[in-house]
């Protein structure tokens, strides 16, 4: 078929194939969730309904894109880690990022009524970015970074909101009170003022959530070779709230590194 004289405009499009043989991480983050959570009167500092909804939306994304091996989420963000060898959409960044973002958002909206008994009062949206990591060390350090961030924020927010909700502090007073305090001091404030042992706080708040694709057959847990497509299709998605920084997370699940290849 003859090309139209307008066809030349295609040349203006940009190639955006992501570097091969690198781990792709797509991180999405809620737009203006400070305002969104206020509007929907979320519980402070953690609203379990929202965390469950975020986890449900992440599960939808992982079910749709089987080259995502694991995902880590906390607060209003989620990181999706793809196998190094994925060739989905020829690794085109805009295709991958926009699909993940829009599917996550529609799953969040679609599943809202299952988690909240109030209607949605504004339209949530999520930004997205792809970052490439060249080896397992940096990939693991990336996940550690997000989990440490979750821990630091949660310890701060738990102490901050206790001071306000139970301690009678104003926002400004609580902020001033916590300025410059280290972790141990926040633990101490929680314990001495409110009788809270931070270590006993729910793991989902302290560690965030991790979805993994997991073989159901125990033998596959030991496998150090590649998985067949048939085996991959039979895998299940499991959610965990554990330390990613622990070597144990990886050594007890050797199939993850195989899937990530
Ligand atoms: N009360 C409450 N607030 C939450 C919860 N989860 C997230 N948030 C709010 O969402 C915000 C997320 O932080 P950010 O992603 O840095 O900020 P943002 O307002 O979404 O702004 P942008 O991401 O830059 O668009 C937090 O600062 C909280 O205000 C929750 O479970 N309960
Ligand atoms: Mg946000
Ligand atoms: Mg955020």
Question: What does the pLDDT look like over 26-40, one tens digit per residue?
Answer: 999 999 999 999 999
CA-CA distance, 234 to 66, in Å (whole number)? Answer: 11
201 pLDDT more than 70:
yes
The reply to whether 7 falls in a domain is no
pLDDT score at 223: 59
Q: Which comes out higher in pLDDT, residue 225 or 132? A: 132
Backbone dihedral angles phi then psi of residue 169, each to the nearest 5 degrees: -75, 155
217 pLDDT more than 90:
no
Residues 6+ apart with CB under 8 A from 163: 169, 173, 174, 177, 178, 189, 193
The reply to whether 74 falls in a domain is yes
* Distance from the alpha carbon of residue 260 to the mean position of ligand 3, in angstroms: 26
224 pLDDT band (50/70/90 cuts)?
low
Check pocket membership of 202 for ligand 1, CB cut-off 6 A: no
Backbone dihedral angles phi then psi of residue 72, each to the nearest 5 degrees: -125, 130
Beginning with the edge strand found earlier in the chain, give each strand of the sheet holding 209-214 in spatial order.
126-133, 23-30, 77-82, 68-74, 209-214, 236-240
Check pocket membership of 53 for ligand 1, CB cut-off 6 A: no
pLDDT score at 180: 97
CA-CA distance, 28 to 214, in Å (whole number)? Answer: 23
218 pLDDT more than 90:
no
Ligand nearest to the CA of 164: 1
The reply to whether 186 falls in a domain is no
The reply to whether 108 falls in a domain is yes
Question: Which CATH number covers residue 244?
Answer: 3.30.70.3000
Count how many domains the chain has.
Answer: 1
* Distance from the alpha carbon of residue 67 to the mean position of ligand 1, in angstroms: 29
128 pLDDT more than 90:
yes
Assess contact for 62 and 99: CB atoms under 8 A: no
Check pocket membership of 124 for ligand 1, CB cut-off 6 A: no
Within a 10 A sphere around the Cβ of 137, how many other Cβ atoms?
Answer: 9
The reply to whether 162 falls in a domain is no
The reply to whether 188 falls in a domain is no
The reply to whether 107 falls in a domain is yes
Mean pLDDT along residues 52-81 = 98
Range of the domain at 45: 20-148+208-260
Residues in the chain: 261
Ligand 2 ion: nearby residues, β-carbon < 5 Å: 29-30, 33, 76
219 pLDDT band (50/70/90 cuts)?
low
* Distance from the alpha carbon of residue 34 to the mean position of ligand 2, in angstroms: 7
The reply to whether 89 falls in a domain is yes
């Amino acid at each position: 078929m003859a090309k139209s004289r307008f066809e030349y405009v295609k040349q203006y499009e940009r190639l955006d194939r992501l570097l091969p043989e690198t781990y792709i991480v797509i991180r999405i983050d809620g737009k203006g969730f400070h305002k969104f959570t206020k509007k929907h009167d979320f519980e402070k500092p953690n609203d379990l309904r929202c965390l469950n909804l975020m986890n449900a939306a992440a599960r939808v994304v992982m079910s749709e894109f089987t080259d995502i091996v694991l995902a880590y989420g906390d607060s209003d963000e989620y990181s999706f880690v793809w196998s190094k060898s994925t060739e989905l959409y020829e690794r085109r960044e805009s295709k991958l990022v926009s699909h993940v973002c829009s599917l996550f958002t529609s799953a969040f909206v679609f599943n809202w009524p299952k988690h909240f008994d109030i209607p949605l009062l504004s339209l949530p949206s999520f930004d997205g970015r792809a970052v490439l990591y060249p080896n397992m060390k940096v990939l693991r350090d990336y996940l550690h970074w997000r989990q440490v961030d979750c821990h630091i924020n949660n310890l701060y927010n738990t102490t901050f909101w206790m001071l306000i909700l139970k301690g009678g502090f104003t926002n400004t007073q609580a902020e001033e009170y916590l300025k410059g305090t280290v972790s141990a001091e926040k633990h101490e404030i929680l314990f001495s003022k409110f009788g809270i042992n931070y270590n006993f706080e729910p793991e989902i708040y302290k560690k965030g959530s991790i979805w993994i694709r997991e073989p159901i057959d125990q033998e596959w847990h030991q496998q150090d070779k590649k998985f067949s497509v048939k085996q991959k299709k039979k895998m299940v998605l499991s959610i965990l709230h554990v330390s990613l920084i622990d070597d144990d997370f990886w050594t007890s699940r050797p199939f993850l590194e195989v899937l990530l290849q």
